[in-house]
Amino acid sequence: EETEKAFKILEAEDIESRYYYKFLELLHNKQETSDELLGFCKANEYFVPKFQVNINPDKIIDLSGTGGDKIKTPNISTIASFIVASKGIYVAKQSFLAVTGITGSANILQEFGINPLELSQKGSKEITNILKENNLVFYHANSMSNPEKRKGFFNFWLKKVPETGLNFTTIYHLASNAYSPINMKRRIYGVFDEKYLKPLAELFQKLRYTKFLVFNGEDGLDEISNIGETRIIEFYYNKFKNYTITPENLGIKKTNADEIKGKSKEENIKDFLNIIYGKEKGAKMDLALINAGAAFYVMDEVKSLKEGVKLALNLINNNVVAEKFEDYVKEYGDFEKLNYLK
């Protein structure tokens, strides 16, 4: 309750962001608890209320995680979203500009004429229509809020952070994607630090998700890893299960950090397209397959993570993912831009 109240006040009233900065810093240094994360999500819900899409919430998933990984991989969850949606699963993916990484999901999508931030400002009806028509939508929940009622928030992120260059990891990385105004019951959620696995798992339980995976990969990876072990907390049938997996457990070749690292915006765009079109056969492709496979597992499309990886690979090899991507760009983006980049 205290955290919810604090964020409501700061986001509405702290125009100069003086208290905002200090509150985020101290809260993060203390380490956020699951109750504080829940209060933060409830403040988000106050500014961006839930809306009805009239789709079974057990049939919808979001693949967004915390971001903030130390390796700065390409936009894996965005690629995985196209893979999962190509199977007909409803994906409501939150997308924002880069904060701690090279390219955020929104940066990549804008290269193909898809603008999640502009779409979000059009409101819930437009987001709902796209999700229903194409079983896939990219949007940003916080951008749906009224700037006049949330002046502190918009001033902080749109003015103060770019001015100062301060982009330290905060509660926003941990949990801003955890709250979804679209009702859903299943999630996968990567986190940049193992110490936040338990509080985030408790948060998703308190948000009444019925099945989810929260995971952290070796070397601070906010994805299921192909460079080493991944620690996972799984929740299903009201029970938590903790375990560790390796790339070998998933039928994937172990690699090193340099092989999955993004080096520039241009390279991230190239990697994105090469994976979508099946031209990339190496470690970055494997990373996308693993994380799409995790979503298939959570959605009960497969019985194991390893089977999920195989399903994701088949969808790419049979050009199902490329067709889904091209259809989506034709409908909601700029196909000429895509052809140019191809």
pLDDT band, very low/low/confident/very high, at 112 (cuts 50, 70, 90)? very high
Q: CB–CB of 39/163 below 8 Å?
A: no
Q: Is the pLDDT of residue 168 over 90?
A: no
pLDDT at 98: 66
Average pLDDT over residues 60-80: 86
pLDDT at 296: 98
Phi-psi region of 153 (alpha: psi -120 to 50; beta: other; left: phi over 0): alpha
Average pLDDT over residues 11-21: 91
pLDDT band, very low/low/confident/very high, at 100 (cuts 50, 70, 90)? low
Phi-psi region of 88 (alpha: psi -120 to 50; beta: other; left: phi over 0): left
Looking at residue 324, what DSSP letter applies? H
Long-range contacts, 45-50 (Cβ 8 Å, 24+): 45/179, 45/181, 46/4, 46/8, 47/8, 47/11, 47/142, 47/145, 47/146, 47/149, 47/150, 47/153, 48/141, 48/142, 48/144, 48/145, 48/179, 48/181, 49/181, 50/181, 50/182, 50/183
CA distances from 127 to 4, 73, 140, 258 (A): 26, 28, 10, 37
Helices assigned H by DSSP within the chain: 2-13, 18-30, 34-47, 76-85, 105-110, 116-122, 124-134, 151-155, 161-164, 171-175, 197-206, 257-260, 265-276, 283-298, 305-317, 320-332, 335-341
Angle between the N-to-C axes of helices 283-298 and 76-85, in degrees from 0 to 180, rounded to the nearest 10 = 50
Q: Dihedral, CA atoms, 68, 71, 74, 78, nearest 10 degrees?
A: -40
pLDDT at 14: 94
Beta bridge partners of residue 230, listed in sequence order: 217, 245
Q: CB–CB of 42/175 below 8 Å?
A: no
Task: Beginning with the edge strand found earlier in the chain, give each strand of the sheet holding 239-245 in spatial order.
Answer: 136-139, 90-94, 60-62, 186-190, 211-217, 230-236, 239-245
Q: Is 222 in a helix, a strand, or coil? A: coil
Q: Is the pLDDT of residue 101 over 80?
A: no
Candidate from 158-172, 199-213, 229-243 with smallest mean pLDDT? 158-172
Model pLDDT for residues 213-270, shown as the tens digit of each residue = 999 998 788 899 999 999 999 999 999 999 999 999 999 999 998 898 877 889 989 9
Distance CA 56, CA 26 (A): 39
Higher pLDDT, 160 or 196: 196
Phi, psi of 32 (to 5 degrees): -70, 140
Q: Is 309 in a helix, a strand, or coil? A: helix
Q: CB–CB of 181/123 below 8 Å?
A: no
